Structure 1
Amino acid sequence: MKILIIAMRSIHTIRWVSQLKDSGHDVHWFDILNGGYIPEWEWVTQHTNWRYKFGNFKGRYFIKRYIPRFHRLFENSAEQKFNDLLDEIQPDVVHSFVMYNCTVPLITTMKKNKHIKWIYSAWGNDLYYYRNIETYKKDILKALPHLNYMFADCHRDIQIAKEMGFKGGVLGVFPGGGGYDIERYDRLNLPIDQRNIILIKGYEQRFGKAINVVLALKNIQDQLQDFKVIVFGADDPFNKAFSKMENIDFIEIKQHMNHNDVLSLMGESLIYIGNSISDGMPNTLLEAIIMGAFPIQSNPGGATEEIIQDNVNGFLIENPESIEDIQEKVLFALSNENLLNKARFYNKELRETLEYEYIRNEVLKAYDSIILRENEN
């Protein structure tokens, strides 16, 4: 099967598409945001560096900033490029990741090419959050009826898609970046009695509520003297808010970290905390489970409860704005060694369903099922 991937350049895209290597499928990638060539994909036909008619010429940024209308004369249209690629590649399937940047722009062209099957992967806030913003909702309602198949990272989004007009086939619910090489990461997975880190995901922009976690831990810092508190992936809004706070010397900030370093840090952490007002199935939550950290995670729209049973293998934050609720959950976890041990045992079983080869085999079966379904029709 010839598959044309429409996706932005990201770690999750790289990991998902890498599952198709040596699968027998002919894979192409349209770099719709012009993010650049991906060295890990030497086996993928990459259509990138397409946007600028005359290359990245000197003075382009000045024109883009101060004369944006004139700058458009130097840019190729994503829609036209996509149309040209369809003619050139003649794919059996178009697979677009993320709704607004990678699916909505294809609607007009895909409506004219109904013989090509269209898969959509819902990630993160794609549907749960943006369905409540009228301009985005209109585009979502336009796109969903034309999609033939769908992946999602949580069951919640499958249901939302159906309620908003999706009538195609569900290919499955899988982590947005595929599975994890558990055997490889086990070397970084410390025993519970050697862990002394409370790890916080440092997102604050739009959806993230990491500052509320910091405030919660600040209130109980006298009871955290035996622990290191580390914030990773701190974004600009978090750093700005954090810099204005006092009496927070007990918190260490790590900003940009590569994926392996994050997993290594989780393998040393006793507790992981992720807090946001909107998300799909958080990849960092799955990584905390893989690496044996006790997860305390927000639960927008019920997505997190698909994998976390509250007070069994983690804690659910039902109100991301409640500082008191977060600090109570942290204190309870730290004072309940029996809970931490039981959760670790439970999650050790659970993580087998997140193992790389297991997920990959299921994903490849899902792609192959398209051929079977179309032959039946």
Structure 2
Amino acid sequence: MGATAGPVWGRREQQDFRSRVRGTLLGVAVGDALGAPVDGATADGTREARGAGGVAGLAPAYGRRGAVTHHTQLTLFSVDGLIRAQVRRDTGAWHPPTDLHRAYLRWATTQRDWGPDERRKDDGWLAREEWLYARRGPARALLVGLGDEIMGTPAAPKNPGEAGPEAAARSAPFGLLVGWEPQLVAQLAVECAAQTHGHPVACLAAGAYAVVVHALARGESLDAAVQQALALLAVWPGHQPVSDALQHALGAVRQGMPTPERVTELIGAGSAEGVVAAAVYCALVGEDVRHGLCLAVDHDGPSAAAGALTGGLLGALHGETALPPAWLAELEGRPTILELADDFAMEMTQGPALHGPAGSSPAWLARYPRGG
């Protein structure tokens, strides 16, 4: 797996990219936190608890307002794995799915241990963030898929019957590889999805979602981004359920005022292609970011995943300043998310100066070790 030459980074381009990276990661987290309190509840039940307007803002989950779930946790470890892959490339080792798998195994450790183990020197800084050592409703497929050190692949996937949205919901960071060709972004997302969710629908939905984020991060409109994903999907065997779901989402945009019922219909049984399609729909029809996110979580289905997926799209499209400041102020882990986002942006724009032939930054290599 290779990458194309990256873009030319002037100051303005760097600032725009940094804003989109921050927006994507914060968007995933804020959508996740918005959906967490109502995850799996019926829309009627949500309105009984929240009033006729349904979800209108953050509410308590896991003992606090603004709490995130495993979707955000794994998205952060996706970023960590991508940075580590770039750093390890200097050694001649270049297989990003392996680096992502190692990152996901570090996440799995946070689900078993009480806190960081300072003896694991190759873990890097993210795995030493104590707030990440919390179980936030991880799907069984995640714990089983990452329960040993064997890496699932498209040819030999873990959990081949699992078609849930969890793999797609951690895939926004792949779309931030703006120097890569879209087909390589899709391939990486598919390969990494197979590590926990081996059903073709789950893998291809993750690939399609990453391609949409990729186009947005490069300045495309959301409609154009979805069209790019559809064109790319067409060459993959087994793509039809995912392509049909995305086409259904585009068609639903023209069917009048958005409603929770329409979102519920798009989500269907809650498998990956339906949840990704619902996220696309909510991002397209939302009057603003706040409305799009509330629509994404106010339905019968996996609200946290739908919120995370929608937030990733809106953040990549608009950048961090479009996200509701009051929600960000209460968001769990926000300092970590911002720090990681800025590290990713720095790695992608200035990586050779941090670790390359001209010399390496010891501080950077301590944060993102080449081992592990």
Q: TM-score normalized by structure 1?
A: 0.26
Of Structure 1 and Structure 2, the greater helix share is in: 2
Structure ID, larger Rg: 1
TM-score, structure 2 normalization: 0.27
- Choose between structure 1 and 2 for higher RCO, CA contacts under 8 A separated by at least 6 residues: 2
